[in-house]
Amino acid sequence: MKFFVDTADTAEIADLAATGLLDGVTTNPSLIARAGRDFLEVTREICALVDGPVSAEVVALDHAGMLREAEVLRKLAPNVCIKVPLTVDGLKTCKALTGEGTMVNVTLCFSANQALLAAKAGASFISPFVGRHDDNGFDGMELIRDIRLIYDNYAFATEILVASVRHGVHVLEAARIGADVMTAPPAVIRGLFRHVLTDKGIEGFLADWAKTGQSI
Ligand code: G3P
């Protein structure tokens, strides 16, 4: 499963990229607002920090406006992935852009039927929001299971990008189901490295090593 980080904080992205485990980045207008930086400038900078796809979201709601914004965004770097909302105009834009070879991430997916439409529109990635689904009394991971089943039934190439990930259990379940990608905030990714028994084990080994009086 590929790991994307869901942030526009370049310091966090650079730090995680240094682990060699980061496969891409996702941003959205809220994350850009949180970063407090110029959208085009920060997106260009993020694209230089990772080799993989960097999702940059359009804000126009109509097809012509989305195409115009995508034109600006895709000039930033070859690894820009245009993010469009799951609407009629968003999917029209997806079809047009992927037809020209541009990567597209269809976002704000909350049903398996929406994911089916995105795959038919040639989406490179579909982003079902599991955390927001859970928040509203639905089962986010059940949605991922349904999409996996449908995409496998028809051998769709669209990658399932599990978004709105809130904790390690979402990551574990996504991997069990066979999702292609998950995107999570930096803190959630950092949390995956940690285990109390790992810390305790290191502490014990170092205490015993000190008793030997040796060095390597
Ligand atoms: O980038 C899309 C998605 O991951 C947003 O997550 O936590 O705002 O629901 P969240």
CATH code: domain of residue 185:
3.20.20.70
Structural domain for 80, as ranges: 2-212
- Among the listed residues 2, 75, 83, 200, the single catalytic one is 83
* Ligand 1 binding pocket includes 27 (Cβ within 6 Å): no
Number of structural domains in the chain: 1
Helix (H) or strand (E) holding 83: strand 80-85
**pLDDT given at position 134:** 97
The pTM for the full model equals 0.96
Alpha carbon of 156 to ligand 1 centroid (Å): 24
Task: Print pLDDT tens along the chain (216 aa).
Answer: 999 999 999 999 999 999 999 999 999 999 999 999 999 999 999 999 999 999 999 999 999 999 999 999 999 999 999 999 999 999 999 999 999 999 999 999 999 999 999 999 999 999 999 999 999 999 999 999 999 999 999 999 999 999 999 999 999 999 999 999 999 999 999 999 999 999 999 999 999 999 999 999
Is 83 designated active site?
yes
Q: Enter the tokens of residue 201.
A: 């084990």
**Of all protein residues, whose CA lies closest to atom 10 belonging to ligand 1?**
164
**pLDDT given at position 148:** 98
Alpha carbon of 118 to ligand 1 centroid (Å): 18
- Other Cβ atoms less than 10 A from the Cβ of 46: the count is 28
* Ligand 1 binding pocket includes 134 (Cβ within 6 Å): no
Q: Enter the tokens of residue 99.
A: 């037809």
**pLDDT given at position 87:** 98
For residue 165, what are the CA distances in angstroms to 99, 122, 130, 174, 183? 30, 24, 6, 10, 7
The Cα 51–Cα 13 span in angstroms is: 12
**pLDDT given at position 196:** 98
